[in-house]
Chain A
Amino acid sequence: MNWKMSRVVRTVTDVMVVPIIVFGIYLIIHGHLTPGGGFQGGAVVASSTALLIIAYGSFRDYKKDFSSVESIGLTLFIFLAILGILLGATLFYNFGAGTGGLFGGRVAEGINPGYINTGGTVPLMNIMVGLEVTAALSLILWMMAKSSDSMEVEA
């Protein structure tokens, strides 16, 4: 059945979902400076999906899923990898490091406080992998909740 938890749980979920998503995005875009990155941040964002499913039921009437987001993330990741070959270097070559473009700043050598406009292609790949992991884990949780939803109906 389409379960729904009590008003307390739903209110706390409404309050907590946005900070969880913001923290996940922070982990993704600061992946080249602090502990974190695409995988961890994507898992944190997907945990907000788990919270929503626990509080509000499995949303089984919604037909749209986000498997296209996952495909877009993986395709852009592979495109960024192959762009290294197209620019005359090897696969996964970091062609954007230190060129002054997007994320093209230079870090200070040694221990430094961190500057976000550095890293070349690494932050871009973090964002792509974050998209893919978010969509993948959310999709797994959502499909499992939906199918176990229909299990109680049949039994």
Chain B
Amino acid sequence: MNSLFYALPFVMVAVLIIMGLYTVLFKRNLIKMIMGVAIIQNGVNLFLVSLAYREGYVAPIWTSAPDVDMVLPTPHALTLTSIVIGVATTALMLSFVIMLKKHYGTTDSHETRRCKE
């Protein structure tokens, strides 16, 4: 129980990813499914940032830094990459939903599954 408390950000990562998977699996609205994918992306970003953390250290920027002990910079750079790619994929999925809405007149995933000319 003690180790679970000290690793609380990782527990939150697990909760976020499970919430996103639940939303993707059980919701019928396509926009809510995209929200689930975005929640999974945020969970992964939180995981990367938590991996970079060193207790009591400062951000890896030398300009007027309060201390010379700094946290790991590489996961921060990867998180930046991940955020931008998440924005790009979310925009692409939302434009697909716009297209489906215009074609079928609904955003229900069960309705858009059937074949229609």
Question: Any chain A CB within 8 A of the CB of B51?
Answer: no
Contact B87 A113 (CB under 8 A): no
Question: Any chain A CB within 8 A of the CB of B12?
Answer: no
Question: Any chain B CB within 8 A of the CB of A124?
Answer: no
Within 8 Å by CB of A111, from B59, B65, B83, B91, lies B65
Please measure, in the bound complex, the distance between the C-alpha atom of A37 and the C-alpha atom of B81, giving whole angstroms.
12
| Category for how many chain A residues contact B | 20 to 34
Contact B63 A113 (CB under 8 A): yes
* Given A140-B91, A144-B95, A151 contacting B101 (CB threshold 8 A): yes
Within 8 Å by CB of A133, from B59, B61, B84, B91, lies B84
B107 to chain A, nearest CB (A): 12
Contact B95 A34 (CB under 8 A): no
- One digit per residue, 1 when the CB lies within 8 angstroms of any chain A CB and 0 when it does not, for chain B 86-117 equals 01100100110010011000000000000000
Contact B68 A111 (CB under 8 A): yes
Measured between beta carbons, the chain A residues less than 8 angstroms from B63 are 33-34, 112-114
Contact B68 A151 (CB under 8 A): no
Within 8 Å by CB of A144, from B80, B84, B98, lies B98
Measured between beta carbons, the chain B residues less than 8 angstroms from A113 are 63-64
- One digit per residue, 1 when the CB lies within 8 angstroms of any chain B CB and 0 when it does not, for chain A 114-144 equals 1000000000000000000100110010011
Question: Any chain B CB within 8 A of the CB of A39?
Answer: yes
Measured between beta carbons, the chain B residues less than 8 angstroms from A35 are 59, 61
Please measure, in the bound complex, the distance between the C-alpha atom of A34 and the C-alpha atom of B59, giving whole angstroms.
11
Measured between beta carbons, the chain B residues less than 8 angstroms from A61 are none
- Chain B contacts to A: CB under 8 angstroms: 59, 61-65, 68, 80, 83-84, 87-88, 91, 94-95, 98, 101-102
